[in-house]
A and B are shown apart, each in its own frame.
Chain A
């Protein structure tokens, strides 16, 4: 489904990703771990098409298409979803309105009929129920005045509505207390399906206590230096990144 080959990317003049390889199959959950500054968030941003990163080498194909040539919205249309580490506030933009517009843009791009207001409302209610979320969320402006936990839950809610084929969760666990973490993790688990792949970008093992990955990769100095099963995460927890020669970057 996603194939990253020899990906190199710069921020300004500085090379952050230095030839990264990653293969993700349908329905798989991959965790990408690594010390601060290893390039985890850069990977998430490059995949979703954020500005400010220059790809200098390698390729990324998603569902057989060259992802790197696409605008961010086109990637979303293909089924890519990034849950932001710092979700952006949109004052005055109603959450429901925003999501309906986004969903219909995606449906339209796929040649599917747009949802009318009633069907959309039904869909939202259904998803809220699955995620055990409160419907007050729908009436508020997107992320505006939300607590850290609310913002992360809103990201998961958006993911539930937009039903991506591949979801990238960028440090979704950061800044969450244990209860909030559990709610977010339950949400992600509820959305797991044989059709949906997930990339968990995280610094800590603790998220993986709640979301069991199929594969764990260690990213250091811009490359995947080790891949394995979920037991790799436990090993990292015990021994730290130093054990792999991946010292915390300055």
Chain B
């Protein structure tokens, strides 16, 4: 199908002729259903609450079509400039959405831990995925999840059996390189930690050059009873990239999940974090930092569903906007009837540093139980003049003082990053972006 805005998102999907059938009945039927959902939903406009502040026009105008190549000429040494110096991790590399074993390093995985490509596992052991694929996303998929289901070609599967523990983090590198035409990749990741398992996952979205492309990734995560996951997401894609990420989380009883998400790159980035508590006494901690300058858009949507009692969640997002940068924060905490002793606190703070920058923020509480502790706070402001003066009176130039104060503002989130090698690299990236930012 020809890629024009008039066709909506249909061109993002591969042909659905008989050749496209995989022979896996459940898989093909889920894809067909998702394709129908994409068609039925049409194109959301700013009249749709979830897209109130974010128009899809710019995304549609690019005329993205699916990637075809399943291989890459890249060699391991090509990756070197993109790595985090001193980060010791199991490494999984995707290039344009495809798992590339030759670039990955999964040696010495302990027993009870399985990491592999989704396409490969679909062929070799489809039953392992039958209940997992769309298991957390569920039946009524939002548009981009449905698109991903209908068009998914590959991704990564991480399975930790009961009690399995990983000493080193898993680093998941999404590398995108420029292609002949604007391409969209739609990887699907499935991460499962069974009861008592513990792991750390670092997702990094990077590009080679200033390529124009789109990634529409979906990650389904389920934590079993008392499982613990630290999940870090660093997005530093090309200034021409379009980034769409949907995270769907199911947190079991007593499990603990921490997500630190940092958005620095891409022209247009939309991240949806959907958290559902599946057992009591679970804890969810979402920390976010975003910078948007030039004509960048950073859009974060959080939907935290306290459907069960005695769970706690923290949502703490901070943004720095400059140039013609725009940010959208839409956070929803829902507390179901009878979800007593819920403890939820949401905060969104923004520094607005220049003319033309904009922030639209919408922290929402929906409370249907009375014995709860719920709050949210939002601020939009600037660097405090007294603080600036204090630094300048100690001899710092105004631009340096401003940068230092911005870094101080970001520090609360940056300090959540581990190990130090990762923290240091991201702090440096934040610093150099601020150096280029016209914030005087």
Judged by CB atoms under 8 Å, the answer to whether A and B touch is: no
Give me the interface of B with A, judged by CB distance under 8 Å.
none
